[in-house]
Structure 1
Amino acid sequence: MRAIWNGVVLAETADTVVVEGNHYFPRESLRAEHFVESDRRTTCPWKGEAAYLSVHAGDAVNTDAAWYYPQPKDAAAQIRGRVAFWKGVEVVDG
């Protein structure tokens, strides 16, 4: 799977975990130079507190376009150390 935004491959792996229709990529599959930690936090009742990353690709910034759960609840243990995307980031096979 690949995560692509603004013509740039942000992450690539054969190992994603799908939860609620979102592909969670291993953190180490991200191309770190395209990500900056955000101050945004949200809470999911069964997954826990989500933290966000803003994506930088070319001259463009996509604020809070990726999220992860630093300390997921037990019910979401399978996404520990993984990152998912939204806000126009395309997740494609191959």
Structure 2
Amino acid sequence: MKAIWNGVTIAESDDIVTLEGNHYFPRESLKDQYTTFSNHRSSCVWKGQAQWLSLFVNGDMKPDAVWFYPEPTDAAKEIKGRVAFMPGVEITE
């Protein structure tokens, strides 16, 4: 599968975990040259504390477009080391 934003593939992998309709890619599949810092944080009762990244591609910024759980709960351990994407990032097979 591929994650595409602003005409650029920002992640690609055959190792995808789908949880609550979101496709979680391995963290190492995310191309770091297209990510930038975000200080946004969020919390999920059953998954834990999420951290976010923004995307910067071809001069355009998509704030808080990528999230991950650095230390997910035991119930969500399958997404440790994985990233998912906000709507607007196209996920294709």
Measure, in 1, the Cα distance between the counterparts of 2:10 and 2:37: 15
User: Following TM superposition, by how much is the alpha carbon of 1:37 offset from its aligned partner in structure 2, in angstroms?
Assistant: 2.5
Secondary structure of 1:77's aligned partner = helix
Provide runs of 4+ in structure 1 moved above 3 Å: none
Which segments of 5 or more consecutive residues in structure 1 lack a partner in the other structure?
none
Report how many residues are paired: 93
RMSD between aligned alpha carbons?
Answer: 0.6
Question: Match of 2:62?
Answer: 62
Measure, in 1, the Cα distance between the counterparts of 2:63 and 2:87: 9
Secondary structure of 1:87's aligned partner = coil
Identity %: 53
Question: Match of 2:43?
Answer: 43
Amino acid in the other structure paired with 1:16 = I
Amino acid in the other structure paired with 2:27 = R
Question: Match of 1:73?
Answer: 73
Amino acid in the other structure paired with 2:53 = L
| TM-score after normalising by structure 2 | 0.98
Secondary structure of 1:70's aligned partner = coil
Amino acid in the other structure paired with 1:82 = R
Which segments of 5 or more consecutive residues in structure 2 lack a partner in the other structure?
none
Amino acid in the other structure paired with 2:38 = S
Amino acid in the other structure paired with 2:69 = Y
Measure, in 2, the Cα distance between the counterparts of 1:76 and 1:35: 24
Question: Match of 1:26?
Answer: 26
